[in-house]
Chains A and B, each alone.
Chain A
Amino acid sequence: MIILLVLAGIIGGIIGGMGMGGGTLLIPILTLVFGVDQYTAQAINLISFIPMSAVAIIIHFKHKLIKTEKIGYIILPAVISSVFASVLAANIDASALKSLFGIFLAVLGAVLLLAQILKDKPRETT
């Protein structure tokens, strides 16, 4: 059980370290495979993300991949709305939160898939 949880973490971490949103994979693994409730899975993902991203950020800084210009405009409002949203999530039924998360995941996946198809199209024709 512990080994499987570590493995689930490694998979989520690899995707997360690549900046692809590891939580979108880790959260459903925790709920569907390990039977963790939605809110707890979200909490575990958020907390795991902090040390993982700190390490990843250092590596990306060394590779000169991080551009800090103007990102303060995104970060500050994001911190405020995320705290507000976290309080909201704590006051919602876990199964409703799971359904909403599912919709969020499916819609986001569809949009990203479409964007990727559109982006790759001109390259294929040239």
Chain B
Amino acid sequence: MEYAISKSSKVLPFLLVVGGLAVGFANGFFGGGGGMLAVPLLTLLLALPEREAHATALIVILPMSIGSALVYLFCGGFRSAEGFPVLFGVIIGGIIGSFLLKKIKNNLLCYIFYTLMIAVGIRLAV
């Protein structure tokens, strides 16, 4: 696969910074979704293969999520009645998902998931 920007290009750091600003803004404002923006950033600009991009996206999102989470906590966004059960489930699910990423080819899953996103998005917007 050919990439428009070579790894030694002077433009690359600039594009990464602009991309970072956009991903950070979306993830902070919407409290998530940054991973989905970070993955194309990593595949297109840093030429990472799909699986590596999905894994690396997590380490890209973690620092900004910590920053955002502190602001949300400070502004009283977290409610423990719902928060703690969800937190517990997410940790278990995260472990399962990490092992699945290593094993399965998830093209079909992508189609299902993206279609679901569109449907749910429309439902929320109207």
Contact = CB atoms under 8 A, between A and B. Distances in A.
Interface residues on A, range: 35 or more
B89 A9 contact: yes
Nearest to A101: B30
B75 interface: yes
Summarize B's interface: helix, strand, loop or mixed. Answer: helix
Max chain B Cβ within 10 angstroms of own Cβ: one of A27, A46, A74: A74
Contacts of B33: 21, 23-24, 104-105, 108
A110 B118 contact: yes
Contacts of B122: 102, 106
A16 B58 CA distance: 9
A19 B34 CA distance: 10
A29 B28 CA distance: 19
A77 B68 CA distance: 13
Max chain B Cβ within 10 angstroms of own Cβ: one of A10, A80, A107: A10
